[in-house]
Structure 1
Amino acid sequence: MTDELRGLLRESTEAHLPDRARMLARVERGMARPGTARSRDRERTRALSWPKTVLATLATVGTLTASALMVVAAVHDPDPPRNPSAAAPPAAGRAVPPTAAGSRTEDGPLWADGSVDPHSNSYWAQSNVTLKTGKPLTALVVELRIALTEGVRDTGSWRTRPATDFDVSARQEGGFLVYRWTLKPGRTVPPGEHVFAGQYDHAAGGRDAKDDTYRIDATASAAEGGSAVWGGFA
């Protein structure tokens, strides 16, 4: 590189160097005047930063609050019942199946007994429900429940009262063969002894009737209200 070229480059560089003294003077004059662009920029920055800071703080508080509520809900949420069916009451109007241990054979004008007919054999049986009433009955439902042990199958039913006085059904319900006699509206059962019987096949050999039950619901008059008796075939 020649001396002439070096000189030209140095002159060009010096021409583009900033005048430091002049720049400092301009800065001092600007800082001395209020409302300058720099001060406005600082104020604008503070104005913009405040909402952002507040929003960020609220977001953090909201997250912590939601987390706390979730923890509280988890702690106070009640445990599910261990046995929901045990807490549920029986359906309205449905007879509660009795047990032999909880027998009630007398109530008001009613008396009842359950027995396996002596003419039953190793393949077939008849279960008798004997009802005694001291007053005429204007409403009556007799239910006989035969546990579905091996081979149990309906073969018929009968009653000592006229067949036309009752609606009769026999069906399997909840592990039982259920016979039901319902007195028709306008009919009456007179005072005395009455028998209702269900007949069924079963597996060969002796059949244990310990799980069989019966229930009777009856009304003598509206003024007296209803009566109910139940028991087993032990």
Structure 2
Amino acid sequence: MHEPDQDRTTALLSRWLHEEATRHQPDRDRIWSRVETAMRPPEPRPARRHRRAWSVTATATATAAIAAVTSLTVADRADVLPSLPLAGQGTTGASAPPSRAAAPGRQQTREPTTAPTRPTPGPKVTVRASLSPNNSRYWAENRLTLHVHRPLKSLQVTIQVARTGTLAPAGAWSSLPASDHRPQTRTTRTAVIYHWTLHAGRTLRPGTYTFAAQYTPGPGHRPAADTYTVTTPTPITGHF
């Protein structure tokens, strides 16, 4: 473009701008409205408000869910774990588990109860046979010592001394009261028999009693051949 044309264009543009500026009048109310609007503090965005409310709701929901899970976990463990006594509370007095009832249609059997057995009583009398330490070829004595363990209503004691050669009776005695028994001695061809009988209606109390048969031994006498019988009324027999 040549220089004269450029100057002409500039002049036309300047005139057009001047005419437009003269014709234009600013709208003051609109300008001040825009200024006041610009000066106001910005209102919170709805999106942010909704997002914040959602965050609060989500936090509350998560907290409730955690509390529910914790509650269920504690409840499940309470079903599994055994119940423990409180502090200071012992186990004494705790109720025992209920006994299992018998199944329907099935008869419950009981173990047979046996009556307690009574101890077998021991013997009423124990007997010990002995010879006097003073025995000689001129005089001898066979002794019976009775240990009475229970009261006796009847008692008979017999000592038989076998006869050999010139053996003969030389007396007899007993520790029983004379009023409670009757002594008796008799001689046969083969033995001298000494006999004591408790009177009827008398009771021999527990204790130790002695019965002795005295004799003069003959040649060849052996005390092992002498015998005794104690009847209470069960007979007890033996040799010296």
TM-score (norm 2): 0.47
Larger Rg, first or second structure (1 or 2): 2
More strand per residue: 1
State TM-score, norm by structure 1: 0.48
Higher normalized contact order (CA 8 Å, seq sep 6+, divided by chain length): 1
